[in-house]
Amino acid sequence: MQKKKLVLIGNGMAGVRAIEEVLKVSNEAFEITIFGSEPHPNYNRILLSKVLQGDTNVEDITLNDWNWYQENNITLYTGETVTSIDSVKKEVATNSGRVESYDELILATGSLPFILPIPGSDKKGVTAFRDIKDTDEMLQASQQYKKAAVIGGGLLGLEAARGLLNLGMDVSVIHLAPYLMERQLDPTAGKLLQNELEKQGMKFLLEKQTAEIVGDERVEGLSFKDGTFLEADLVVMAVGIKPNVQLAKEAGLNVNRGIVVNDYMQTDIPNIYAVGECAEHRGMVYGLVAPLYEQGKALAKAICGAEKVPYEGSVLSTQLKVSGVEVFSAGDFTEDEEKKAIKVFDEQDGIYKKLVLRGNQIVGAVLFGDSSDGNRLFSMIQKQEDVSDVAKVSILQPSGGNAGESLVASMSADDIICGCNGVTKGTIVEAIQKQGCSSVDEIKACTSASRSCGGCKPLVAEVLQHTLGADFDAAAQKEAICGCTTLSRDEVVEEIKAKGLSHTREVMNVLGWNNEEGCSKCRPALNYYLGMVNPTGYVDERESRFVNERMHANIQKDGTYSVVPRMYGGVTNAEDLRKIADVVDKYEIPLVKVTGGQRLDLFGVKKEDLPSVWEELDMPSGYAYGKSLRTVKTCVGEQFCRFGTQDSMGVGIALEKKFEGLWTPHKVKMAVSACPRSCAESGIKDIGFIGIDGGWEIYVGGNGGTHLRGGDLLYKVKTDEELMDITGAYLQYYRETANYLERTSAWIERMGLSHIQSVLDDAQTRRELNMRMDEALSTYRDPWKEIVESKKTKKELFETVVTS
């Protein structure tokens, strides 16, 4: 039977979730093609605020990696936008000139950020907060500018403000309403939230209407309609979104606010469906994750010809943490003549709870400071539960006011545990009883509970404990490396050593992976652990690496790549600069930027040009894309600076040459400063060295991201030889004991500085660690040179692989 052609326009959360549901119903029915305008595979937009915090990247928030598309025989075109739909010929055309036919078409074009139509909104330094591109723009602006204005005091605006505050910017939030998050909170909760955020350093200008964004080419400030002015060199618009319906309009689909659909997500043109933020169902357009996922289930049943289950709309709820403050709201929480409220306010502990009832039926709720009862109240609202026989105020007390009783004990099977993915308590209990799930990670793999924002993990753990009773093993609630296995990182590493395992697939087979193909989280981790355990005998599995490490360059938003050649210690010469200039001219590279790590970054290199660029540069890879040693930043040191006490450039170059190409659990950055003035910012690096009279201070565990962490003093040493010895042993101990993707700042807090010092204090242990480090370093080969010299690799990576 010939497969039908299914085309999805939009590679976001709603559309890809609909495809996942289609694959569950019938994984053989369709030949699937997906078009996405961004250069990335499907990622979790909810977690963009964590990317803004600087210590997470798009790979870490990826929901479906490149391998997932290949494993499910899905053709993915990234960085390519569908520009027209011909519903008669049943074809779509893209901005690259590609024409693709379809039997069934799904529109998941999402929404566009609303940009206020005010003078100056097109100036440099004005951005939305909607995707990775916007996030990157804010991160770059924070390195150069200091005053940020966020227009919009909703959830998105506050997340942007928190991120920019963490990046060291002076942040003011401008909001038209008299209190924050007016769509999710009532005035009392909104004011409480404002008080908490002001304590964190945010500033607020409420009931302010922006008249103009002032500046020449770049924004310099905001003027308001009341005549006041605010200085700003970055403006973030977070005032709302609007359905992206232009393509649908031009195709002749029925469009109101969104693309009008029925209960099966069908449009008014046969064989065309719409799902997500672009769809309008019964007059409603939804912007939260849970309704979009419910829509995907209804669509999948309909498109596969299975027994149809109509989507009948959603009662909205929001349960989240805003800058560490717990907030929940659901339903209709505004009281009036027909609806009355019950309120509990603990001013001392900052806890506020409000129920809204229509007669004896709960129709809405707001919780601030303690949202633990949110799921229970949401379930009561959804079921339109009659509470006429209950003391109303007791509903606002956990488990009806019975102290010590488990919250989940009072929840029914159809109560929602994971709001993002619509997973009920009953579904989780069934996974425990019938599929043998005994950990949060296993529940996530089986049911998708906690897969999106992760906020329900404590409640999932509570369901486990309540269901398993005496069989619940708290010690077994270790963090598995992913949902494909119950094994922790330490257990996997020990099994690799004990059984002499040598390939990722062998590990998965021998250790009984639930998913025999693994996933995007475990495959790169296993690849790292195998190489760490047996560096000289292990052959790196390119297909198990993230795309940047596979391609040995950083993919950019437009599908081009950036190239960072190695400049040891940040020192260069005329010959290398001429090479770079010649390559930039020859390959029409649009941007060359000096990085924070004292390197030159060449942006906009076409994928097919990468091998030629590397060959003509004839410089080693700077590993700017890798979980590896990135750069060693240096000051000019005693050779030129009148304050310098040590040869910082010489030591920096020696460090970078010794540890070049070293694969580590996460990226590692170093800096060497010749005196305590620390001009190379040594105090906030993974490893930092500060010259003092008669030697060096070595600092570890620093992090210059949004979660700023000053480095801890590890040792004082007298000689460069001691410095290298301690550094090698420290790095190897980190390599051998850290979880994959665990930064040194998190690792050192988990392990404890005193423990690490006690390990390194032993001279024999240091020697053994350095021996294993030297073994790992002996395998280094410059990847750019290897690719240039291998016709096979060049063909596989740069001629046949489609990533854009």
DSSP 296: H
- For residue 165, CA distances in Å to 124, 190, 337, 623, 701 come to 20, 20, 42, 29, 22
Q: Are 527 and 544 in contact (CB under 8 A)?
A: yes
Calpha distance 547→76 (Å, rounded): 14
- CA torsion, points 46, 49, 54, 56, in degrees to nearest 10? -20
Q: Are 195 and 376 in contact (CB under 8 A)?
A: no
**Bridge partner list, 733:** none
Q: How many CB atoms lie within 10 A of CB 453?
A: 18
Calpha distance 386→398 (Å, rounded): 18
Calpha distance 85→527 (Å, rounded): 42
Calpha distance 230→173 (Å, rounded): 11
Calpha distance 352→332 (Å, rounded): 17
DSSP string, 220-246: EEEEETTS-EEE-SEEEE-S-EEE--H
Confirm or deny that 679 is annotated as ligand binding: yes
What tokens appear for 468 in the block? 């398993």
**Bridge partner list, 224:** 210
Q: Which of helix, strand or coil describes residue 149?
A: strand
Residue 279 CB partners (closer than 8 Å, separation 6+):
107, 243, 258, 259, 261, 265, 285, 295
Q: What are phi and psi of 287, to 5 degrees?
A: -115, 0
Length of the chain: 804
DSSP 711: P
Q: Which of helix, strand or coil describes residue 96?
A: coil
DSSP string, 98-148: -EEE-SEEEE---EEEPPP--TTTTSBTEEESSSHHHHHHHHHHHHH--EE
Q: Which of helix, strand or coil describes residue 81?
A: coil
Q: Are 788 and 748 in contact (CB under 8 A)?
A: no
Q: Are 236 and 174 in contact (CB under 8 A)?
A: no
Q: Are 355 and 342 in contact (CB under 8 A)?
A: yes
Q: Which of helix, strand or coil describes residue 421?
A: coil
Calpha distance 504→522 (Å, rounded): 9
Q: Which of helix, strand or coil describes residue 34?
A: strand
Q: What is the CA radius of gyration of the chain?
A: 28
Residue 205 CB partners (closer than 8 Å, separation 6+):
172, 173, 174, 175, 224, 230
Half-sphere exposure of 495 (CA within 13 A, CB side): 16
Give the β-pairing of 74-78 and 62-64.
unpaired
What tokens appear for 392 in the block? 């109303």
Confirm or deny that 446 is annotated as ligand binding: no
Confirm or deny that 519 is annotated as ligand binding: no
Q: Which residues are annotated as a binding site for [4Fe-4S] cluster?
A: 635, 641, 675, 679
Q: Which residues are annotated as a binding site?
A: 635, 641, 675, 679
Q: Which residues are annotated as a binding site for siroheme?
A: 679
